[in-house]
Chain A
Amino acid sequence: MNVHRHPFDAVVVGAGGAGLMAALYASKHVKTAVLSKLYPTRSHTGTAQGGIAAPLGNMEEDRPEWYAYDTVKGGDWLVDQDAAELMAYESIEVIIELEHMGLPFDRTPDGKIAQRRFGGHTRNFGEAPVMRSCHSADRTGHMILQTLYQQCIKQNVIFFDEFFVTDLILEDGTVRGVVAIEIATGDIHVFHSKAVLFATGGAGRIYKVTSNAHSLTGDGMAIVWRKGLPLEDMEFFQFHPTGIYKLGILLSEAARGEGAVLINDKGERFMERYAPTLKDLASRDVISRAIYMEIREGRGIGGKDYVYLDFRPETINRFKSAPGGMEVTAEYLERKLPDIIEFVRVYLGIDPMREPVPIQPTAHYAMGGIPTDVDGRAIRDEHNTPVPGLYAAGEVACVSVHGANRLGTNSLVDLVVFGRRAGRHMAEYCRQADFAPLPPEPEAFTVEMVERIRNGTGKERAPILRNELQDTMQTHVSVFREASGLETAIDKIRELQERYRHIRIDDKGYRFNTDLLEAIELGFLLDVAEATAFSALNRTESRGAHYREDYPKRDDDNWLKHTLIWRQDGKVTFAYKPVVITKWPPKERKY
């Protein structure tokens, strides 16, 4: 196995929206490398559909404070309000910056960026839905990813495509670089750097039914956690209400933003009962729970475990005079939602303009992750002590602007607002910091791991263990949770971790060994699942996406605080960080 070394001031791991935005800013000032296990344009940001929020007020009056408030309320008051306000204000200039970079937003008749409604986004602190989501049909993420990549090409950003990062080099609490496998050759590369920014995205593959790509295996979270650093708020994992039944492929909230409604077996628009004001545009956790309540009470379609998302024009028009109602034609919907309409046609073989679509909640978004401050600096404890040189941005990070439940359109905002801030801060840091020396054999951990898996002769197989993990998480750590289920999940994860030590793979080669990479990814998944399940068991209240049947109430007296979880010598420990509250003291959340 060949080992190579490269010096760079800064290394960005991941080339989705967050990584590319950070790279654009960092590489203007310091020598920056972007490492990505996928070609940058394959990153999952490209699948984001519905839009990116900014209170531009292009369609109707809107204000940053309203947006910040909605974000705080959407997150069930676990959002750090200083960060939410900052994001709400900066979203405007960043969206304009994206437009200037060439992003092809849809337009209003007078040529401005077009906006649409989205769940939980309201005017005047909850009065009625507001048009805040800037979009490009239902391909907003694709356009963002392409546009940022185009700018990187223009700016000659240095990419290492299909480099799989396995380890962070951290000595005496400071960053020294990362270790990566060059996928095409199997060679090991040590990147010696002053700073490292993780932008590796989410971890949806801990679950069975998910909107997330096969590649979203929580690598960044696991790598950092293994270094004895904490993860924050891992118990909060969002289930998006409308995934295609069984497949989990997402049908964006944009459908409901354009007027679509959820329907149960009796043909009722059941969200009227659960969220009388915003109905089908209530926040995601509320709707996902409502769907499961309907199913439990026997009102799933044909008594089964799904309901309908109905976006036939005649259905939408039937509700046109209700508040927030829309009047649409099939032609209009085909223009506004072309991709999701196609998904239904291709994968279900039905025409959503003529038939309602079977849906179920799908594991979608990790609110938790590597704790950072608003400049993307990773922190090591509940006192916000930064780890010199370590940064994180995007879904892998927890700022926290999403609190206990993220609003739709807010991840894309998070990527570009905090990707930019982190890129800038990292460049500044690199300009004043020196290279800390590499330890002897920085690649040792990776070499040992790779050889152990490659030469493993045990009887366990990674795909089987992964299935068992995904089933367990889906059953016990999903929309509804309770202590005994969580304990079962933890025992199972422990068992799988033990069995993982005895895996054997078929591919013993070096070249493009995806058998090996999938096995390494399984190791990451197991760690992220462990952090998630332990954090969920630990939080004995219900808030946002974390719903404990044995503790069904929000408990601000004891739990208005962020969880930090560490693992040391195989044992997890917790600490807590206060929520930053500036303007909006917690109150009951109603939609």
Chain B
Amino acid sequence: MKVRLRIQRFNPEKDRKPWWGEYEVEAEPVDRVLDALHYVKWYIDGTLTLRRSCAHGICGSDAMRINGRNRLACKVLVREAMEEGRGVITVQPLLGLPVIKDLVVDMEPFFANYRKVLPYLINDDPPPERERLQTPEERERYDDTTKCILCAACTTSCPSFWANREYIGPAAIVQAHRFIFDSRDQGATERLRVLNEWFGVWRCRTIFNCVEACPRGINITRAIEEVKLAILTGRLA
């Protein structure tokens, strides 16, 4: 099938402002939007710049705005995107992070927020000889938030983040949740303190964009609510 793409282009080395590149490519209906972008890059204009690696939705490299919604280019089929965009697929970089070139944004502010929540297991007890025990129920408690691939689709879809770039953002809260509710972890107090600060969870207005955006299907709003509740009650129910 013929696929039409409108891609937001911007190379600060030579462009004064962003512009729209329009391309027509030949694709199979079951091709991914990533395949269509590759087609442009490989056979039409090699200067088109994007990040990608795994091509099947696991590495988190290619989060971008497709038809106005944050998604992984490798996880949307052109057929669906064409229907949705009524015959043209619109592709833009994520909002709220500085554009380095075309679809590539500067991820450093995102990772800086991630690092703030102490995203690692904290347990100062001497470890046992074998594995620490954890029941399947305890393991299930934080399963959802272990799936995060740090793609930034959620954080950059959040109006609270657009309004204030200091907001730590849903992804960092998801990461904090993954440890706070892990029965082996002892760092909850410290993480909850961070998340209770002015740039923390209270900036979440429960708008649900993040849940919509998450390619891993994580129920982000629920995770955020659980963190808020833990701060309010002091309990990890």
**Which of A104, A346, A514 interacts with B139 by CB under 8 Å?**
A104
Is B55 part of the contact surface with A, judged by Cβ < 8 Å? yes
Is B56 part of the contact surface with A, judged by Cβ < 8 Å? yes
User: How far does the alpha carbon of A106 sit from the alpha carbon of B138 in the complex, in Å?
Assistant: 10
Is A160 part of the contact surface with B, judged by Cβ < 8 Å? no
Residues of B36-84 at the interface with A, using a CB-CB cut-off of 8 Å, are 41-43, 45-47, 49-61, 75, 77
Decide: B42 and A463 in contact? CB cutoff 8 A.
Answer: yes
Digit string of B102-139 for contact with A (CB within 8 Å is 1, else 0)?
00100100010001001111010001011111111011
Is B231 part of the contact surface with A, judged by Cβ < 8 Å? no
Is A41 part of the contact surface with B, judged by Cβ < 8 Å? yes
18 contacts between A and B (CB under 8 A): A42-B51, A100-B127, A100-B132, A102-B123, A105-B139, A106-B136, A150-B121, A153-B120, A213-B59, A214-B52, A214-B53, A214-B55, A249-B56, A507-B49, A509-B47, A511-B100, A513-B49, A515-B47
User: How far does the alpha carbon of A348 sit from the alpha carbon of B150 in the complex, in Å?
Assistant: 25
B120: chain A residues within 8 A (beta carbon): 102, 150-151, 153-154
Decide: B142 and A99 in contact? CB cutoff 8 A.
Answer: no
A511: chain B residues within 8 A (beta carbon): 11-13, 100-101
Shortest beta-carbon distance from A579 to chain B in Å: 34
Is A510 part of the contact surface with B, judged by Cβ < 8 Å? yes
Digit string of B141-158 for contact with A (CB within 8 Å is 1, else 0)?
011001101100000000
User: How far does the alpha carbon of A505 sit from the alpha carbon of B114 in the complex, in Å?
Assistant: 37
Known: A39-B107, A101-B121. A515 touches B46 (CB 8 A): yes
- Residues of A whose CB lies within 8 Å of any CB of B are 38-39, 41-44, 46-47, 96, 99-102, 104-113, 136, 139, 142-143, 146-147, 150-151, 153-154, 184, 213-215, 247, 249, 339, 343, 346-349, 461, 463, 505-507, 509-515
List 10 tightest A-B contacts by C-beta distance, closest first.
A102-B121, A506-B46, A111-B133, A463-B42, A150-B120, A515-B46, A154-B120, A42-B59, A507-B47, A99-B131
Decide: B149 and A41 in contact? CB cutoff 8 A.
Answer: yes
B205: chain A residues within 8 A (beta carbon): none
Decide: B142 and A104 in contact? CB cutoff 8 A.
Answer: yes
Decide: B53 and A512 in contact? CB cutoff 8 A.
Answer: no
Best-surrounded residue of B11, B50, B111, B120 (most CB of chain A within 10 A): B120
B146: chain A residues within 8 A (beta carbon): 104, 136, 139, 143, 146
Shortest beta-carbon distance from B41 to chain A in Å: 8
Residues of B179-196 at the interface with A, using a CB-CB cut-off of 8 Å, are 179, 182, 184-185
B229: chain A residues within 8 A (beta carbon): none
A506: chain B residues within 8 A (beta carbon): 45-47
Shortest beta-carbon distance from B213 to chain A in Å: 16
Residues of B197-223 at the interface with A, using a CB-CB cut-off of 8 Å, are none
Decide: B131 and A343 in contact? CB cutoff 8 A.
Answer: no
- Residues of B whose CB lies within 8 Å of any CB of A are 11-14, 30, 32, 41-43, 45-47, 49-61, 75, 77, 100-101, 104, 107, 111, 115, 118-121, 123, 127, 129-136, 138-139, 142-143, 146-147, 149-150, 179, 182, 184-185
A213: chain B residues within 8 A (beta carbon): 53-55, 59
User: How far does the alpha carbon of A469 sit from the alpha carbon of B55 in the complex, in Å?
Assistant: 20
Shortest beta-carbon distance from A484 to chain B in Å: 31
A510: chain B residues within 8 A (beta carbon): 13
User: How far does the alpha carbon of A532 sit from the alpha carbon of B224 in the complex, in Å?
Assistant: 50
A247: chain B residues within 8 A (beta carbon): 56
Decide: B60 and A41 in contact? CB cutoff 8 A.
Answer: yes
Shortest beta-carbon distance from A443 to chain B in Å: 22
Decide: A42 and B121 in contact? CB cutoff 8 A.
Answer: no
If A42-B54, A112-B133 are given as contacts, then 5 extra A-B residue pairs at C-beta distance below 8 Å, sorted by A number, are A39-B150, A42-B59, A104-B182, A108-B136, A111-B136
User: How far does the alpha carbon of A343 sit from the alpha carbon of B184 in the complex, in Å?
Assistant: 31
User: How far does the alpha carbon of A46 sit from the alpha carbon of B54 in the complex, in Å?
Assistant: 9
User: How far does the alpha carbon of A109 sit from the alpha carbon of B55 in the complex, in Å?
Assistant: 36
Decide: B47 and A347 in contact? CB cutoff 8 A.
Answer: no
Decide: B55 and A512 in contact? CB cutoff 8 A.
Answer: no
B121: chain A residues within 8 A (beta carbon): 101-102, 147, 150
Decide: A215 and B12 in contact? CB cutoff 8 A.
Answer: no
User: How far does the alpha carbon of A136 sit from the alpha carbon of B135 in the complex, in Å?
Assistant: 14
User: How far does the alpha carbon of A47 sit from the alpha carbon of B42 in the complex, in Å?
Assistant: 25
Known: A47-B54, A213-B54. A512 touches B60 (CB 8 A): no
User: How far does the alpha carbon of A249 sit from the alpha carbon of B111 in the complex, in Å?
Assistant: 28
User: How far does the alpha carbon of A491 sit from the alpha carbon of B45 in the complex, in Å?
Assistant: 30
Decide: A112 and B131 in contact? CB cutoff 8 A.
Answer: yes
Shortest beta-carbon distance from B142 to chain A in Å: 7
User: How far does the alpha carbon of A38 sit from the alpha carbon of B127 in the complex, in Å?
Assistant: 33
Shortest beta-carbon distance from B119 to chain A in Å: 5
Shortest beta-carbon distance from B191 to chain A in Å: 13
B58: chain A residues within 8 A (beta carbon): 46-47, 142, 339
Shortest beta-carbon distance from B133 to chain A in Å: 3
**Which of A46, A47, A111, A154 interacts with B135 by CB under 8 Å?**
A111
User: How far does the alpha carbon of A505 sit from the alpha carbon of B101 in the complex, in Å?
Assistant: 17
Decide: B56 and A47 in contact? CB cutoff 8 A.
Answer: yes
Shortest beta-carbon distance from B27 to chain A in Å: 14
Known: A96-B131, A110-B133. A514 touches B150 (CB 8 A): no
Decide: A42 and B49 in contact? CB cutoff 8 A.
Answer: no
Decide: B184 and A514 in contact? CB cutoff 8 A.
Answer: no
Decide: A109 and B136 in contact? CB cutoff 8 A.
Answer: yes
A153: chain B residues within 8 A (beta carbon): 115, 119-120
Q: Which residue of B lies closest to A112 (CB)?
A: B131
